[in-house]
């Protein structure tokens, strides 16, 4: 039986992953800001076969709340096999360009808080001699683009942080997985009018996350074709790239 902590458990991708784990009989510890939504999700997961489901309300940007949350998770589960960090927001790029407080808040939410939680779980896994840390990043972190460089900068921070963390923990038996989704049809992207062939569903991304964890992967693009799309984007010369409207 896997013992799994999910941060940002009310997000569409996280809940889709939790449903798959529930079907495998996992014990789940769900963390999120909205206690009512957590309770609703927990009821759903119990019906789907989870061995146990415990909920814990927490704002991920509240640094002081992180350690008590981890202690509660360890007590509830008796240990942790997997932690999935899935919280985040999709900022309004234009607002961030003129509002420094909003810019700081988005970097804190999508970048700093993720790194702090990743470090916390990684240190726990080292102590217990193993575990899997999975973090949802984004293809946006592969290169800064005018349309979403605030979000991309935060996700780029997470990618570099996890690279170093993975290098540090390479001999410790701890898996550090960075998940890089492309466009995903979730409530967070509801304002996008046109959703074509490049858009994925949360259930498909969730299945890819579980497969990557079970396969011992370090980085996974979801769906798979984003690896090749972003390879092309990363290799466009800067003198040309800066002229593009991306």
Q: What is the CATH number of the domain that holds 126?
A: 3.40.50.720
**Torsion angle defined by CA atoms of residues 242, 160, 211 and 224, in that order, rounded to the nearest 10 degrees:** 10
- Residue 138 maps to a domain: yes
- pTM of the full structure: 0.94
Place of tokens 């001699």: 129
As a whole number of angstroms, the distance between CA 146 and CA 211 comes to: 33
Work out whether the CA dihedral 33, 35, 36, 39 comes out positive or negative: positive
Residues contacting 122, CB < 8 A, separation 6+: 133, 165, 169, 174, 176
- Assess whether pLDDT exceeds 80 at residue 195: no
- Residue 246 maps to a domain: no
- Residue 221 maps to a domain: yes
When divided into structural domains, the chain yields a total of 1
- Assess whether pLDDT exceeds 80 at residue 190: no
Query: CA-based Rg of the chain, rounded to a whole angstrom?
Result: 18
71-106 confidence digits (pLDDT tens): 999 999 999 999 999 999 999 999 999 999 999 999
- Assess whether pLDDT exceeds 90 at residue 193: no
Domain that holds residue 218: 3-241
Residue-level pLDDT at 245? 83
Write the DSSP string, the chain: --EEEEETTTSHHHHHHHHHHHHTT-EEEEEES-HHHHHHHHHHHHHTT-SEEEEEE--TT-GGGHHHHHHHHHHHHSS-SEEEE-------HHHHHH-HHHHHHHHIIIIIHHHHHHHHHHHHHHHHT-EEEEEE--GGGGS--TTTHHHHHHHHHHHHHHHHHHHHTTTTTEEEEEEEE--B-SGGGTT-----TT-B-HHHHHHHHHHHHHTT-SEEEESTTHHHHHHHHHTS-HHHHTTS--
As a whole number of angstroms, the distance between CA 182 and CA 235 comes to: 18
CB 206 within 8 A of CB 184: no
Question: Count of residues for the chain?
Answer: 246
Residue-level pLDDT at 176? 98
**Torsion angle defined by CA atoms of residues 114, 116, 121 and 124, in that order, rounded to the nearest 10 degrees:** 180
* Residue-averaged pLDDT of the chain: 96
79-88 confidence digits (pLDDT tens): 999 999 999 9
- Residue 121 maps to a domain: yes
Place of tokens 């990618």: 159
Work out whether the CA dihedral 190, 192, 195, 200 comes out positive or negative: negative
- Residue 161 maps to a domain: yes
- Residue 93 maps to a domain: yes
């Amino acid at each position: 039986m896997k013992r799994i902590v999910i941060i940002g458990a009310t997000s569409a991708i996280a809940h889709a992953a939790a449903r798959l784990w529930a079907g495998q009989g996992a014990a789940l510890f769900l963390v999120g800001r909205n206690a009512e939504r957590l309770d609703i999700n927990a009821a759903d997961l119990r019906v789907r076969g989870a061995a146990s489901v415990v909920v814990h309300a927490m704002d991920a940007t509240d640094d002081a709340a992180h350690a008590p949350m981890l202690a509660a998770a360890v007590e509830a589960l008796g240990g942790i096999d997997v932690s999935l960090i899935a919280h985040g927001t999709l900022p309004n790029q234009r607002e961030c360009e003129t509002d420094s407080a909003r810019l700081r808040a988005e970097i804190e939410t999508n970048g700093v808080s993720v790194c702090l939680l990743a470090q916390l779980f990684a240190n726990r896994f080292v102590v217990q001699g193993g575990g899997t840390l999975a973090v949802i990043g984004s293809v946006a972190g592969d290169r800064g683009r005018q349309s979403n460089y605030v979000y991309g900068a935060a996700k780029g921070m997470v990618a570099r942080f996890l690279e170093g963390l993975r290098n540090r923990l390479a001999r410790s038996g701890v898996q550090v997985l960075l998940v890089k989704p492309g466009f995903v049809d979730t409530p967070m992207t509801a304002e996008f009018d046109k959703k074509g062939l490049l858009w994925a569903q949360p259930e498909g991304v969730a299945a890819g996350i579980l497969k990557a964890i079970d396969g011992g992967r370090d980085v996974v693009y979801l769906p798979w074709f984003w690896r090749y799309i972003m390879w092309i984007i990363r290799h466009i010369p800067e003198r040309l790239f800066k002229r593009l409207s991306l």
